[in-house]
Amino acid sequence: MTLPSITERLRAACERHGRSPAEVALVAVSKVQPPERVEAVLHAGHRCFGENRVQEAQGKWPAWKEAFPGVELHLIGPLQSNKVRAAVGLFDAIHTVDSAKLARRIADIAQQEGRCPRLFVQVNTGEEPQKAGVPPTEADALVREVRALDLPLAGLMCIPPEHETPSLHFALLAKIAARNGLAGLSMGMSADFEEAIAHGATHVRVGSAIFGERTRAET
C-alpha cells in the first residue's frame, strides 16, 4: 500500500502549480482489489474511493461504510439505466453521465428517493468509438440538459486515449468546463495525475499506484 507516497506526490504537484492540496480529491480506485488491500487504505484514514461497477460496489461497500464513518464513494464506470436506482442509493458522486436519457433517468429516481449524488458529465475527448462519453462538440448541450433537470452538476470527467498526450485532453476538458461555469474536473489516473493537477483537476482517480496491480482481468 503506497498511499503516503501518492499523497505526497499530490501535495508536491499542487505546490508546484500554486494550488492547495485541499482542492484535489484523491479518489482511490478500489475496483476488483482484494478486501485486505482496501481495508488497509481505510485503516490508514483514507475515505474517498472509486468503483467501476454498481453490482461489485453493492457487494462490499455498505458494510465498509458502516464500519468506517465518512466514506465517500464515487462511481467512475459506465452506468446502465437498470442500475440507476442502486447507484443513486449507494454512491455520493457519479462521474459517468453521458446522455440526456441517463440524466433523465437519474432525475426520476432521485425525485423518488429524495437524494441525488453529485454528477459529472463524461466527455469522450478523444472521440474514441469504443469509449463512453459525449463528444466534445455535444458537451455543452448535455450540460444544459442536466442543469434543466435541476440535478447537482459538479463538473466534467474524461479518460484520455491511451497513446496520446494526456495534457492535451486535460486542457480541452478544462476549456469546456470553464465556458460552462463548472469547477469540477475529474481527470488524471495513476500514470498522469500530476499532469491533470497542472490543468486544474479537482478529482484524480488513482488505483494501481495505491493498491498495486489488480488481481484479475476485468470482464
> How is the chain split into domains, by residue range?
3-211
Distance CA 22, CA 19 (A): 8
CA-CA-CA-CA torsion sign (185, 191, 194, 199)? negative
Alpha helices in the chain (DSSP H): 3-16, 35-43, 54-67, 84-90, 100-113, 136-148, 166-179, 193-198, 208-211
pLDDT of amino acid 55: 96
Q: Which helix (H) or strand (E) covers residue 159, if one does?
A: none
pLDDT tens digits along 102-132: 999 999 999 999 999 999 999 999 999 999 9
**Angular region, 45: left φ>0, alpha ψ -120 to 50, beta rest:** left
Residues found in the chain: 219
pLDDT tens digits along 164-209: 999 999 999 999 999 999 999 999 999 999 999 999 999 999 999 9
Name the fold adopted by 3-211: TIM Barrel (3.20.20)
- Mean of pLDDT values over 40-45: 96
Full-prediction pTM beyond 0.75?
yes
